[in-house]
Amino acid sequence: MKRDFLTVWDLSGSEIEYLIKRSIELKSGVDANKCPLLGKSIGMIFQKSSTRTRISFEVGIYQLGAQVIYLNSSDLQLNRGESISDTAKVLSRYLSAIVMRTYQHSTIDEFAQHFSGSVINGLSDNHHPCQAIADLMTIYESKGILRGIKLVYIGDGNNVANSLVEASAKAGVNITIACPPGFEPDNDIVQRARNYISYNKSSSEIVILHNPFEAVKDADVLYTDVWVSMGQEKDAEVKKSRFKDYQLNSQLLSYANKDIIVMHCLPAHRGEEITDEVMDGQNCLAFDQAENRLHSEKAILEFLVK
């Protein structure tokens, strides 16, 4: 049966747990010589530029034995007016799966409706689910648990924050978002996550605050992302002004636990959302996160593509 991974909601809590454990297995080198996707062809359609997502998926697809076909959106007839549905139907005849990185999330939703294989969201303006799975893997590697962990996200309530809220609800993580008023994560996503927690009688909680120093108290994980996401450059100066008190720096870390881990999904704008001393400090696992994108995406591909 066709399975897509468009948002974290496409996975159950037990499936997320499986993917994290499988990611760690793959990272250890187990099954290194096996090629479960041998003979498959997997496309990658990217409307947004990328470093980690493109390279990690291309390497992962190769290591799983499949052929990767990278397609910049300008390479396709989509750029000349062909419909999303027609493109998806045609590519269904050639490819077992598609990784998409785009602006509007509705583009991925529409493509998935007409593509017969698995569609994986490599990033959209609303969601970044592959990043969230790699993040949970990184936390689990460092802390040995997920349930009861306090994850504090400082910064813009963007696609990364949205997916972290969803992943935290599913995995039993307590998440606190600290951001300026008006820059909270998507309210519908937050409410759905809270409803999930309530329905499942989970001990997790989602807290939205505007004071970063209050937020970091008793935190196990401190996370940030860029203040200005791709496609939002016209608001850059306004956002930088609003976010200047939400920087991950040594002063903010002094309010956190000594064994705090610092995470950043990269790219980092050093001197804006995070300082050099924090980014290069012994508590920062940003480059482990980046590596873990490879292993978690291999687990996702192996799980979805049949």
CATH code for position 13 = 3.40.50.1370
Does 170 lie in the same domain as 281? yes
Cα Rg, the chain, nearest whole Å: 19
196 within a domain of the structure (yes/no): yes
Is residue 225 annotated as part of the catalytic site, yes or no?
A: yes
Crossing angle (nearest 10°) for helices 52-63 and 286-304 = 50
Do 283 and 300 lie in one domain? The reply is no
Beta strand pairing status for 206-209 and 174-178?
Answer: parallel
**Are residues 146 and 274 both part of a single domain?**
yes
To the query of whether residue 194 is one of the catalytic residues in this protein, the response is: no
Q: Is residue 1 part of a domain?
A: no
Q: Which residue among 54, 128, 264, 295 is the active-site one?
A: 128
The reply to whether 192 falls in a domain is yes
Interior angle at CA 145, CA 259 and CA 221, nearest 5? 40
CA nearest 215: which of 245, 255, 270, 275? Answer: 255
- Start-end of H helices in the chain: 13-28, 52-63, 84-92, 105-114, 129-143, 159-171, 187-199, 212-215, 236-242, 250-253, 276-279, 286-304
Both 58 and 105 in one domain: the answer is yes
Whether 191 and 270 share a structural domain: yes
- Both 154 and 114 in a single domain? no
Q: What is the DSSP string of 28-63?
A: HTTTTT--TTTT-EEEEEESS--SHHHHHHHHHHHH
Tokens of 99: 């990784």
Helix (H, G, I), strand (E, B) or coil at 180: coil
Q: Is 288 an annotated catalytic residue?
A: no
**Residue 213 burial (C-beta neighbours within 10 Å; 0-12, 13-18, 19+):** middle
Say yes or no: 174 and 224 in one domain. Answer: yes
Residues 260 and 222 in one domain: yes
What is the pTM assigned to this prediction? 0.97
How many domains, the chain?
2
Determine the pLDDT at residue 232. Answer: 75
Residues of the chain with confidence (pLDDT) below 70: none
Catalytic residue among 4, 105, 156, 265: 265
Q: What is the pLDDT of residues 96-144, one digit of tens each?
A: 999 999 999 999 999 999 999 999 999 999 999 999 999 999 999 999 9
